[in-house]
Structure 1
Amino acid sequence: MRPHPDAPEPPSADRPVLEVRGLRTQVATPTGPKVVVDGLDLTLAPGEVLCIAGESGSGKSMAALSIMGLLPRPMARIAAGSIRLNGRELTGLGEARMRAVRGAEISMIFQEPMTSLNPVLTIGRQVGEAIEAHRSVGRADLTRLTVAALEAVRIPEAARRLKQYPHELSGGMRQRVMIAMAMACGPKVLIADEPTTALDVTIQAQILELMRDLRRDHGTAVILITHDMGVVAEMADRVVIMNQGRLVEDGPVLDVFERPRAAYTRTLLAAVPRLGAYADIDGPVRSAGRSGAAPAPDPARRPRPVAEVRDLTVRFDLTGGLLQRVVRRVHAVEGVSFDLFPGETLALVGESGCGKSTTGKALMNLIPWTGAITIDGTATHGLGRRAMRPVRRHIQMVFQDPFASLDPRMTVGDLVAEPMRIHGLARGRELDDRVAELFRRVRLEPDVRDRYPHEFSGGQRQRICIARALGLSPRLIVADESVSALDVSVQAQVLDLMQELQAEMGLSYLFISHDMAVVEQVSHRVAVMYMGRIVEIGRRRDVFGDPRHPYTRKLLTAVPRPDPRDRRDHFRRLEGEIPSPVQALDYRPPPQRFDEVRPGHIVDLSGAPEQAGG
C-alpha cells in the first residue's frame, strides 16, 4: 500500500529532522509589507541542539512561529520558502493538518508561561488537553499519563499539582508545566523561544538541565532561541546568528565563539558580561574593560551615608474566610540593615521573592514598612505624601520595564519635564533647555522630544527613564532590574551610561538584579538576600571571590559561562526553590545574627538553606 503523500518519512540519523530553505516571512504595515525573515536556511539533525541567537527584532521568534504555522493571520504570512519536517512539506498545509503535526511531531514552549497558560483551567486539565488532542485514552489512563508528564519534568508531588491553577505555581514550575505539555506526546523537535529569560539564574539552570535530559533520554532535537550567549555556550551544538531577519553566521558553537566571521557576531560576544572577568579590579568596570566610576570611599574615611537602613521589615497581611479576617502573613523583608554611601553602587541580589524589589519600594516610601530609613539626613518613617515630596528630590527609581513606566499619551519631552514641573524647579525656556540637556546627557538627540514612547526601542526608552530620574538632580537612584529585559549590546550601553553619570555627578545606586555577571561589572559592594534577609554583604571582589554563605555559592555556580570550552558536562544539581515567605500569624522569625569574617565582609550564619548547600 502506498503511503499517504502527507505522511512523514521514517526518521533517519543521516537525514535532518527539520529543513528550512529560503524562508521569507512578511508582515503587513501601514506603509506596505515588511520582510521580517529574509531567506533563512537552516537544518536540524536528530538529537541536535541548535541555538538561534540575536537581539530583539532580529527575526528569531518570527522564524519559529513560521515553522510552527502560528503566524498571526492575516497580518503575517510566509511569502516564500520550504519547511520540511521528517521529509513532509509544512508550508501550504491547512490548519487541521497542522494541528495534527503540532504537539505530536513538533512542539513549542514560549518565553512567558503565565501568558501561555489558561488562568481559569487547572494544570491537570491543560496538560491533559495536550494528550487528548493526539491520543484516544480513557479518564484513568489520561490521569496516569498527565502525572507521568509532570513527573518527567521533575515537578514534585505531581499528582497534587493536577488540581492547582497556574497562579499557584512559581515561575520555574510554570515553565516546567509548559515543557510537560510540549513533550507529552513525544515530539522529535522542540522549539524553545527564550524559555529562561524571565527566570532567576538557579531556576534557569534547572530548566536548561531538564532540556538536556529530554534530549538525552528521548532523542529530542531542540531549537533554542535566546539572546543570552552564556546559555548558547552551555547548550548549543550549532549556532545560527540572525540580524534584521537574515542569517549572518552559522556554524559549530566553538567556531562561532572563537572564530566569529561576522562583525555583528563579534559585537554580540564583546558585549556579554563574563563572571570572573573583573576579579582583580576593585569597583565598577565599563563594558570596554576600563574603569567606569570612581572607587568607593575608603571605609575609614567614608562620608555620611546618603541612605541609612536599619531593621527594615515589610509584612503583608493575607485575608480569608467568610469575614475576610487576616489569616496569614507574607514576611517579605525581615530586619534588613545597610548603608549606601555617596558615589557608591550597592547591588542587591537574589532570586524572585527574596525581597529585593520590596526593599527598593520601601526606600522610596511606596509601601508600608517598619524600622528606620534615613535619606540624605531625613528620617522618612511616617512621612505623608506632602512631607515626602522634598525627600523625593534626592531619591528616584528606574524600573525594569520602561514601556510600562512611561505614559503612552505623553510625549517623551513632557515625561522628562514633568518631575521638574511638579517640584517647581523650572518653567518656560529654562525648562526646555534643561530637558534638552538631559536628552543629550543620556545620548539622545533633543529633537526627539515630540515623539511618543512607542516610537523608541527598549534601550532608548530606558535612557528616557534615566533622563526623567536625573531631572531632579537626585543623590540616589534605585535601579530595579533596569537592564534585565534588554539585549546584551543595549544592556552594555545603558550600563556604561549609568557609570558615566555616576562618575560625573557622584550618584549612588541601589542596583537590584539577579544577573550575577552584570552585578560583578557594576557594583562596589554586594548584598545577597534570601527569604527577606541579607545573608551576606561586603565588597564585590570579596563576595564574588570568596563567597561564605552557601546560598551565595549556589547563585554563582548557576551562572552560565559564555565559553564553550568551559562547558560543564551537566549542570550542578540545584534542587528546591526558595521556601514560601507566607507564615502563620503566630510565626516569630529567628533573630538575625551576624559574624564578621573580615572588615566589610559579613555573613549571616543563622539558617543557611539546605537546598543551597553542596
Structure 2
Amino acid sequence: MTASGDIVLDVRGLSAEARSEEGGKVILDDVSFSVRAGETLCIAGESGSGKSITSLSLMRLLPGSVRVTGGEALLAGRDLLALSEREMRRVRGDEIAMIFQEPMTSLNPVMTVGRQLTEALRMHRDMPARAARARALEMLEAVRLSEPSRRLAQYPHELSGGMRQRVMIAMALSCNPKVLIADEPTTALDVTVQAQILSLMNDLKSEFGTAVVLITHDMGVVAEMADHVLVMNRGRVVETGDVFSIFSEPRDPYTRGLLAAVPRLGSLADRDGPRVRGAPRATPPAPAPEGAPVVSVRDLTVRFDIHGGLLQRPIRRVHAVEGISFDIRPGETLSLVGESGCGKSTTGKALLNLVPWSGAVEIAGHRTAGLDDRAMRPVRRDIQMIFQDPFASLDPRMTVGDLVAEPLVIHDLARGAEIDERVAWLFERVGLEPQHRTRHPHEFSGGQRQRICIARALSVGPKVIVADESVSALDVSVQAQVLELMQELQAELGIAYLFISHDMAVVEEVSHRVAVMYFGQIVEIGPRRAVFTDPCHAYTQRLLEAVPIADPRRRRGDLSSLSGEVPTPIRPLDFSPHHVTLNDRGGGHFAADAMPS
C-alpha cells in the first residue's frame, strides 16, 4: 500500500521547548520524518508524547509559551520554520492545511459554512465570489455532505459533529494543499461517523494526491489508515517503520505496551462474561449475575419541548428516549451503546432524576418517579455517576481530598477524623497516593482525575454506578488501567454498572449484557456473547462493521454502507413515534426486526 511519490514534507531534527518558572523544558527532541505525495504517515502516541506540538510547529501555530529551538521542515524545498509570518500566512491553508480534533471550536460560530469555505479560496486563489462559491459547493459534494447547497447557508451549530468535520476537511482541501495534517480528526466522533470520515480521507487522498500526516492515539485508526508509522513518547521518536512491521514486530517496549493495551473487537468471542484486563485467557468466564434487579426500568420516556415564536410557546419536540425497559442486577455490567443523539446519556441522567421523564424507575427498591431533590438524596447514595470529562466535573477551586469528602458530608456519613481516614482509604483503593489529596484537579493527569471521580462516586457506597463515556477521552494504556480498576471494584464490592459508550471493543471487554440504542429506542439487547457473535438487528451489524481493527492485515474494504446521518429526534408536536417490538431470539437475546421511526 506504500505510496511511491516524491517526498513533499521533510522534517529534520525538529526540537522545541516550553517556558516555565524553572526555565525551559524540552518538549520535542530531535524529531525527524518525511512523507511522500499520496502517502499517509501516522504519528502515534499518548497524551503528552509531542504529537500535537509537532503539528503545531509545522503550521507555526504554537502557543506563546512554546518555541522551536532547532531543526528544519522542508515543504517542497522551502523551510517552513524560516519563513516570516507574512510568508507563512500565504502557505498556511494553501500548500499545507490542518484539520483539528474538535470542529466546533475550529469553525467560526457567527459565520455561515459558505462564507468560511469561500474565505480561504478568495484569499489564496484570488477567486471572484461566484467562482469561490462554486468551488465551495464542489468541495462539500466531494466530502459527501448531504444537501450541500443548503449547508452553505447554515451555521456550524446547525450541523452534527460528523457534518462539521466534513466541512473542516472540505475547507482544508479546497486549495489542493500538498500536505494535510489531521490532528485526532475522529476522536470525538461515533464509530460509524469515524468510519465514514476515514474512508472519505482515503478517497480524497487518492483523488488529489495529497500527503497526509494523521495524528492519533487510536491504534485501530493507525492500522486502518497508515502507510508508515512514527511512534512518539515524551517528545522523542521511539520507533518508525511501515505499518505492517510496526504491528507485527514492534521493537520498542513503549510501542509493544501501546499495542498490548488496545482492546480488540472479537478477542473475547469465546467467553460468556467480561475479562479483567491482565488476567490470563484461561481464567474461567464470569457468568452474568442473577437475583433481584438493583435497577428496574419500564417504559422510560424522555421528551423536551423546543420553544419559539414571540410568545415562546412549544413549536417542536425532542424525542430523546422512547419507552425503553431493562434491568440491571447486583454485580452486573449492562452496556448501553449507540451513536450520539440516540438517547444513551439521557437515559443515564433519567436514572438519577437529572432530567424530566415518564415511566417507572426503581433504584435498589426505591421508586423515583416524582421525587424532589430532598427525597432523592437517600436514593443517590445507591446510584452515582462518572462523567466523560473528569476535569469538567471536578471543581477547580477545591482540593481533590475535599471533592472526594464532599458526598460524605452531604449525606452525613462521617465527621472529623473519620472523613480523613475514609478519603485516604478511597485514594489508596483507586491507586492514588493519600498524601496527594491536598492538591487541586489541574495537578493530575487525565487518568488520575478519572480515578478521583471514581473515588468520589465510591465514597457513599453506591450499589449502581452510571459510567457515561467514562474512558473515551483517555489514552489506551490509561483506559486499560481505569477499566481494570472498575472491574476489580465490581468483583470486590458487587457494584452494578450502566456502562454508556460508543466504543464497541471496550464494551465487549467489560460487559455482561449489551443494549443497543437507535433513535431513542433499544433495538437489541442480550448477553455480550450473543450480541457480538450473532447480531440480529441491522443497526447492531452496522456498528460492529464500523469498528476499526488494530491489525493492518484486516483492513476493511468499501464502507459505503455506513453513509448517512442518524435521523433527528426533533419532531412536530403532533408526532407519534412507532415503537419497535423486541422479539425473543433465545437465551435472553432480544432484537427488533424494524428500525424505529
What band does the TM-score fall into relative to the shorter chain?
over 0.9
Please give the TM-score of this superposition, normalised by the length of structure 2: 0.98
Match of 2:335 among 331, 337, 347: 347
Shift, 1:519, TM fit = 0.1
Preserved CA contact (<8 Å) 1:551 1:608: no
1:221 aligns with 2:211: yes
Contact 1:294 1:343 in 2 (8 A): no
Of 159, 163, 169, which residue of structure 1 is paired with 2:153?
A: 163
The answer to whether the 8 A contact 1:558-1:572 is kept is no
Partner of 1:65: 56
Q: Structure 2 counterpart of 1:51, which letter?
A: C
For the residues of structure 1 that align with 2:343 and 2:5, how far apart are their CA atoms? 52
Letter in 2 for 1:64: S
CA distance in 2, matches of 1:13, 1:540: 44
The residue type paired with residue 36 of structure 1 is I
The corresponding residue for 2:247 is: 257
Listed one character per residue, the Cα deviations across residues 310-349 of structure 1 (whole Å, up to 9, x for unaligned) are 0000000001111111011000000010000000000000
Match of 2:14 among 23, 38, 45: 23
Aligned to 2:537: 549
Residue 246 (structure 1) shift: 0.2
1:321-400 alignment runs, 5 A limit: 321-400=309-388
Correspondence for 1:305 among 267, 289, 293: 293
CA distance in 2, matches of 1:571, 1:333: 29
Q: Which position in structure 2 is the counterpart of 1:52? A: 43
Asked if structure 2 preserves the Cα contact closer than 8 Å seen for 1:21 and 1:40, the reply is yes
Answer yes or no: is the 8 Å Cα contact 1:549–1:608 preserved in 2.
no
The aligned residue for residue 136 of structure 1 is 126
Tell me if the contact between 1:293 and 1:503 (Cα under 8 Å) persists in the aligned partners: no
Residues 550 and 608 of structure 1 are in contact (CA less than 8 Å); yes or no, is this contact kept in structure 2? no
Q: CA deviation at 1:69?
A: 1.1
Deviation at 1:215, TM superposition (A): 1.1
Query: What count of residue pairs does the alignment treat as equivalent?
Result: 594
Q: 1:372 to 1:35 in 2, by over 3 A?
A: same
After superposition, the C-alpha distances for 1:132-171 in whole angstroms (9 at most, x for unaligned) are 1211222221211111111111111111111100000000
> 1 CA distance for matches of 2:514 and 2:534?
12
Distance 1:211 1:112 in 2: 17
Q: For residue 449 of structure 1, give the secondary structure of its aligned residue in structure 2.
A: helix
Contact 2:524 2:582 in 1 (8 A): no
CA distance in 2, matches of 1:597, 1:37: 55
Contact 2:523-2:595 within 8 A present in 1 as well: no
CA distance in 1, matches of 2:191, 2:533: 18
SS of the equivalent of 1:526 reads strand
Q: Give 3-state SS (helix, strand or coil) of 2:435's partner.
A: helix
Q: CA shift at 1:593, angstroms? A: 1.6
Contact (CA 8 Å) 1:127, 1:181: kept in 2 or not?
yes
Conservation of the 8 A alpha-carbon contact between 1:285 and 1:293: no
Retained in 1: the 8 A contact 2:361–2:368? yes
Does structure 1 residue 206 correspond to structure 2 residue 176?
no
Whole-angstrom CA distance in 2 between matches of 1:294 and 1:429: 42
- Residues of 1 paired with 2:151 and 2:5: CA distance? 41
Pairing partner for 2:93 from 90, 98, 103: 103
Q: What whole-Å deviation, never above 9, does each CA across 1:541-587 have from its counterpart, x for those lacking one?
A: 00000000000000000000000111124435311111000011111
2:401, 2:438 within 8 Å by CA — same for their partners in 1? yes
Q: Which of 442, 447, 455 is 2:443 aligned to?
A: 455
Distance in 2, Cα, partners of 1:413 & 1:488: 27
Q: In structure 2, how many angstroms separate the alpha carbons of the residues matched to 1:185 and 1:591?
A: 47
Identity of aligned residues (%): 64
Q: Distance in 2 between matches of 1:430 and 1:353?
A: 43
Cα separation, partners in 2 of 1:257 and 1:289, compared to 1, 3 Å? farther
What does residue 167 of structure 2 align with?
177
Write out per-residue CA displacement over residues 246-280 of structure 1, whole angstroms, 9 at most, x where no aligned residue: 00000000100111110000000000000000001
Aligned residue for 2:34? 43
Q: In 2, distance between residues paired with 1:166 and 1:297?
A: 44
- Residue 98 of structure 1 deviates from its aligned partner by 0.5
Aligned residue type for 2:528:
R
Name the amino acid aligned to 1:18.
L
Equivalent residue letter for 1:561: I
Listed as ranges, the gaps of 5+ residues in structure 1 are 1-11, 610-614
2:586 equivalent to 1:595: no
1:147 equivalenced with 2:131 (yes/no): no
Is the 1:348–1:356 contact (alpha carbons within 8 Å) kept by the matching residues of 2? yes
Aligned counterpart, 1:286: 276
Distance in 2 separating the partners of 1:395 and 1:429: 26
Residues 408-427 of structure 1 mapped to structure 2, 5 A cutoff? 408-427=396-415
Match of 1:492 among 459, 477, 480: 480
Partner letter of residue 253 of structure 2?
A
Deviation at 1:433, TM superposition (A): 0.7
CA shift for structure 1 position 594: 1.9
Q: Secondary structure at the match of 1:405?
A: coil
Q: Aligned partner of 2:379: which letter?
A: V
Whether the 8 Å contact between 1:311 and 1:371 is mirrored in structure 2 is yes
Determine helix, strand or coil for the equivalent of 1:454: helix
Q: Does 2:435 align with 1:444?
A: no
- Take 2:256 and 2:105, find their aligned partners in 1: how far apart are those partners? 34
Residue 494 of structure 1: SS of its match in structure 2? helix
User: Of 366, 378, 403, which residue of structure 1 is paired with 2:391?
Assistant: 403
- In structure 2, what residue type is equivalent to 1:41? S
How far apart in 1 are the matches of 2:140 and 2:288?
52
Aligned counterparts of 1:287 and 1:229: Cα–Cα separation in 2: 18
Preserved CA contact (<8 Å) 2:275 2:286 = no
Q: SS at 1:133's partner residue?
A: helix
Contact residue 314 and residue 332 of structure 1 kept, 8 A? yes
Q: Which amino acid aligns with 1:503?
A: A
Conserved in 2, the CA contact under 8 Å of 1:318 and 1:330?
yes
Question: Given the superposition, is the C-alpha separation of residues 14 and 152 from structure 1 closer, same or farther in structure 2, using an over 3 Å criterion?
Answer: closer
SS of the residue 2:232 aligns to: strand
Letter in 1 for 2:570: V
State the Cα deviation string for residues 339-397 of structure 1 (Å, max 9, x = none).
00000000000000000000000001111000000000010000011111000110000
Shift of 1:92: 1.8
Q: Distance in 2 between matches of 1:93 and 1:382?
A: 65
Counterpart for residue 121 of structure 1: 111
Q: CA deviation at 1:13?
A: 6.3
Task: Tell me, yes or no, if the aligned pair for 2:322 and 2:579 is still in contact at 8 Å.
Answer: no
1:290 Cα offset (Å): 3.9
Q: Residue 543 of structure 1 aligns to which amino acid in structure 2?
A: V
Q: Measure the CA separation in 2 of the matches of 1:55 and 1:571.
A: 28
Find the aligned partners of 2:67 and 2:471 in 1 and give their Cα distance: 33
Per the alignment, residue 4 of structure 1 pairs with none
- Aligned residue type for 2:473: A
| 1:435 paired residue among 423, 431, 434 | 423
SS in 2 for 1:148: helix
